[in-house]
Amino acid sequence: AQKVTQAQTEISVVEKEDVTLDCVYETRDTTYYLFWYKQPPSGELVFLIRRNSFDEQNEISGRYSWNFQKSTSSFNFTITASQVVDSAVYFCALSEDWGSGGSYIPTFGRGTSLIVHP
List contacts with other proteins (CB under 8 A): 9, 33, 35, 37, 43-47, 50, 91, 93, 95, 98, 104-106, 108-111
Burial 63-81 (b: 16+ CB within 10 A, else e): ebbbbbeeeebbbbbbbee
Nearer to other proteins, 20 or 98 (CB): 98
- Closest separation between CB of residue 4 and other proteins, Å? 9
Nearer to other proteins, 57 or 71 (CB): 57
- Closest separation between CB of residue 115 and other proteins, Å? 15
Spatial neighbors of 21 by CB under 8 A, at least 6 apart, are: 6, 8, 11, 76, 77, 78, 79, 90, 92, 112, 114
Q: Give backbone dihedrals phi and psi of 99, rounded to 5 degrees, phi first.
A: -65, -25
- Closest separation between CB of residue 33 and other proteins, Å? 5
Nearer to other proteins, 12 or 98 (CB): 98
